[in-house]
């Protein structure tokens, strides 16, 4: 029988709907999309670069709770409301991962929760 576990941490914002921060299914950890909320639920101030940094900090906290690290991420999906900020997002994203290069999709969307400019989700593989 396969085991599926919910992953939750107070070091990242609580889900704002009926979903988990992440779910571990077998060796995979699937995070829900994170927007730039601080762990206390307040919205991170600043432009898209600051928003990406907050989102990645949230994802780090969730990954750590699940027992994986950023180098275990195998797939990322980035949702943006304005692809003209693609270079700014790439710079922050590249700094976060360093030499690690997971597969990635980037999609422009009409709107994100709480009027965020960016939302990111990860899939990680737990060895």
The tens digit of pLDDT for each residue in 47-89 reads 999 999 999 999 999 999 999 999 999 999 999 999 999 999 9
- Compute the distance between CA of residue 118 and CA of residue 34 in angstroms, rounded to an integer: 8
Average pLDDT over residues 115-127: 96
Domain that holds residue 23: 4-125
Q: Is 36 within 8 Å of 80 (Cβ atoms)? A: no
CATH for 111: 3.30.1330.40
pTM: 0.96
Q: How many domains, the chain?
A: 1
Q: Is the pLDDT of residue 114 over 70?
A: yes
Q: Is 58 within 8 Å of 66 (Cβ atoms)? A: no
Q: pLDDT digits over 1-28, tens only?
A: 569 999 999 999 999 999 999 999 999 9
Instruction: Mention every residue, 6+ apart, whose C-beta is less than 8 A from residue 8.
Output: 20, 21, 22, 65
Q: Is 75 within 8 Å of 123 (Cβ atoms)? A: yes
């Amino acid at each position: 029988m396969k085991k599926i576990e919910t992953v939750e941490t107070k070091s990242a914002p609580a889900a704002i709907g009926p979903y988990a921060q992440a779910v571990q299914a077998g060796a995979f950890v699937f995070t829900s999309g994170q927007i730039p909320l601080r762990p206390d639920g307040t919205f991170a101030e600043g432009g898209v670069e600051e928003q990406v940094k907050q989102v990645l900090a949230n994802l780090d906290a969730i990954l750590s709770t699940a027992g994986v690290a950023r180098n275990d991420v195998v797939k990322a999906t980035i949702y943006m409301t304005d692809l003209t900020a693609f270079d700014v997002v790439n710079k922050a994203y590249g700094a976060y991962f360093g030499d690690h290069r997971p597969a990635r999709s980037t999609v422009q969307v009409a709107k994100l929760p709480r009027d965020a400019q960016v939302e990111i989700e990860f899939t990680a593989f737990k060895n």
